[in-house]
Amino acid sequence: MGNPPADAIELKNKGNEAFKKQDWAGAVAFYTQAIDKFDQEPSFYTNRAQANIKLESYGLAIIDADKAIEIDPNNVKAYYRRASANTAILHHREALRDWKLVVKKAPNDATAKLRMAETDKVVKRDAFLKAIEVEDAPSAAEGLDLEHMAVDPSYDGAKLEKEMTLEFIEDMIQRFKDGKKLARKYVFQIIISVMDLVKKEPTMVEVDVEEGHQITVCGDTHGQFFDLMNIFKLAGNPSEKNSFLFNGDFVDRGSWSCEIALTLYAYKMLYPTKFFLNRGNHETDDMNRMYGFEGECRAKYNDRVFKLFSESFSALPLATLIGGKYFVLHGGLFSDDKVSLDDVRKLDRFKQRQPGQAGLMMEMLWTDPQTEPGRGPSKRGVGLQFGPDITKRFCEDNKLEAIIRSHEVRMEGYEVEHGGRCITVFSAPNYCDSTNNKGAFIKIGPDYKLNFTKFDAVPHPNIKPMAYASNGIQGMI
């Protein structure tokens, strides 16, 4: 096998420097160059795997770990990386198998023992939940007597009657900024009201922008409440003439997911025909269990609040068509060229509450664009990737100007790809307090031109991202 040449080691060291500066993409580029010079050094692959994990390219991290293990079957770091990547994409059984191998090869590694025990618990919990799954489970709202539910005497905020008011939202937002919670009765009331509203909406909501109106399209906000407040400051607060569309991934990772979800839901209640919410891949139970939203709901409110949110997430529309020109969905396009907007319109999103591992719903929530033509395996290990020719064909067949999607960090907050027909917008700046990216949103007026605004992260109280996440995931941040 031999030792790597000096120029390959130098490239690896440059990759390490980029990694220390949190320039994950730069690190991947240097490690790739090192591999091009010498492809038999396992550390080049394990280092690139870790940078890919930071980029959420978990599928690529698994491929790198596989290669390192092929070169050196005793490489403990490679099993570590593969277990971490499989944990992130919820492949817990595969992760458990690798943690067991790590513990066998490094019996004194206390962290690996802890991760193995945590993963074992998750595998058993998932098996238990599957065993007790009921096809037509009663709603979590059943038996809740909101009319006679008392508000805790310690609550000192505005009262919510039957209708949402702007005054209530302003008071609620100030409470959240001050680190206070909402009365549980009002939390239940907001979620149940919005669940009833979105259940009546089609799977693809279709909206036009009238004269004197505009709509702001936002990407992932991921529990970054103080950055959401900055979006409203820059784009203007929601109103009858200032519509918003939040394109999924409101929750998880950031530690103010309850505050974001309640704020967005309250605005949906106030402006039901002017404020829109698409479902993202993080508005799903398995992601919420791992990435923090379930834990946060329990810590701030109770388990029933999470169950109600879960139920409401499964009722959210999957896409929005703006002016017949822009198809907005969280992930991206499909594995089959024959899929059309009509198929999306006809999709019965109530048939399955969770997106599963295949099918239209999964693809709408999980897929990503790639630069190469055609389709390819997903870099994140779930879904697939689609090229510029796929986007062009879909837009032409459906008479669209472009698709707008989110789901991925973009360093400038947005990116226009595929000859202008695929636009990614991401609205969580300095994602997870570590990525140094800008956030962005898109304003669309009656002329249907896209106007982009970029913005930086704003300060927030000293609570780290993933504060409520599963321990196995926390260790990867």
Report the distance separating Cα 427 and Cα 413, nearest Å. Answer: 7
C-beta neighbour count of 116 within 10 angstroms: 21
Active site residue 92: no
Q: How far is CA 292 from CA 135, 188, 471, in A?
A: 26, 20, 10
Strand partners, 244: 216, 275
Class of residue 52 by CB neighbours under 10 A (exposed 0-12, middle 13-18, buried 19+):
buried
Cβ within 8 Å of residue 364, ≥6 positions away: 318, 319, 329, 330, 331, 332, 334, 344
Instruction: Compute the half-sphere exposure of residue 84: CA atoms within 13 Å on the CB side of its CA.
Output: 26
- Alpha-carbon radius of gyration of the chain: 23
Secondary structure class of 375 (helix, strand, coil): strand
Strand partners, 452: 442
Sheet with 375-377, strands from edge to edge, namely 368-369, 384-386, 375-377
Which of 222, 282, 330, 407 is catalytic? The answer is 282
| Catalytic residue list | 282
